[in-house]
Chains A and B, each alone.
Chain A
Amino acid sequence: MQNPYLPYPVRIDDIRIATEDKSLKTFKFVFLDPDDEDRFAFRAGQFAELSIPGVGEIPIGIASSPVEKGFVTFTVFRSGVVTTHLHNMKIGDIMGIRGPLGNSYPWDLLAGKNILIVGGGFAFTTLRSSIVYMLDPANRPKFGDIDVVYGARTPGMLLYKDELVAWEKRSDINMHLTIDAPAEGWQYNVGFTPPITEQKAPQGDENTYAIVCGPPVMIKFTLPVLEKLGYAHDHIIMSLENRMKCGFGMCGRCGIGKELVCKDGPVFTLDQINHTPREY
């Protein structure tokens, strides 16, 4: 019997500081047993428990994409006991990863559709995974137009900057990067994410889905914008966060009504969320 509590052992292969304030780092992990990588087969939007023996576990969205092989990456904000410990670890250290956990973005449903991605701050990790997945030559034909609105406080707080710049240059994805206030050398949009979404995002229709991930305040002001643009509630896809422990639906804490964020989510449509108590 497979033990869902048991993490796959991994080695930290690389650590990169992801934002100028050093509060986020991107960790690249390699499985000690190469076969574990196949067992860890995941879809964009899923998360995993990063597991540090003797310290604890923390659920983090998977930032690498299923089309990237040989490693998995996670971008982690330093906030609690486990993430602080992780930020102090070194390349070569051994730890564990448990997963993949949760559902994912509904890729079957999204096939053939236009996709609008709205992201803010450091919630861009699973969105990066999704974009890399969709832009993969094998997958790109499966999707219609792809628009991305991504905002951060300053240019230095945008995650994955090299990739953002590369995507800006491509013709098969429309990037709308924005920062809160003008900054020297910044050549893209200036303003909060919701108004930029209002200006740049395509109109919603039956064939267009919006995936929204960001801090609560961004979500709060973006949802009315999307409604105005004509996105139906079942066409707005969100990823929720709650305190989690087991990650596979048993320990009970992440429930929002009868749904468990860890197992039935973390990805829900706004329509589904509207039918559950707001306990996230």
Chain B
Amino acid sequence: MSSLTPLSQLLEAVFFAASRPLTVEELGALDPDASGADVRTAIDQLREHYDFDGHAVEVVELAGGWQVLTRASFAAAVERSQAAQRQPRLSAATLESLATIAYRQPVGRAEIEEIRGVNSGGVLRTLQERGLIEVVGRSEGLGRPLLYGTTPLFLELLGLNDLADLPRAEELTIALQPHQVAPDATDDGAYASVEEG
């Protein structure tokens, strides 16, 4: 493998100085002569170099940008070294609220509570403080309640590039349309089509 090109070197330096994904625009601003295509080519070169030489880090596309991360196979080593803190696990309540917001956004607190059947004020505040959700507007409904949506940090935390990478409804065991219509009223008690988990 040959040496790195000047632009891949620049990118490597900046990736090593950042702990969040950087967009192609941000990376392009490093060199006024570099086009978006140049940046993409340099990213590919860096990635191939890391793969080819067996580096413990890799270039990952994440939350709409690019970031260098350690490979998953070195997780145990990093943990053993105690040189870095592992991300705390998200609680079930947090994940359920996040799931509801991610799929229904923009969505109000009442709808989240309706789906989870439990008061969600505390969870929403925590999610907002952690920067995983944000207020994206207000509903037109009574009292004009706040509407929530997920942030890029949410994608980062899940290792997703885009909201479209979330598991799709068809992949789920129970296929359910959002805001499903009432089942046929004439067909009393016949919920045969319902799949039990």
- A associates with B: no
Write the residues of chain B forming the contact surface with A, with a CB cutoff of 8 angstroms: none
Write the residues of chain A forming the contact surface with B, with a CB cutoff of 8 angstroms: none
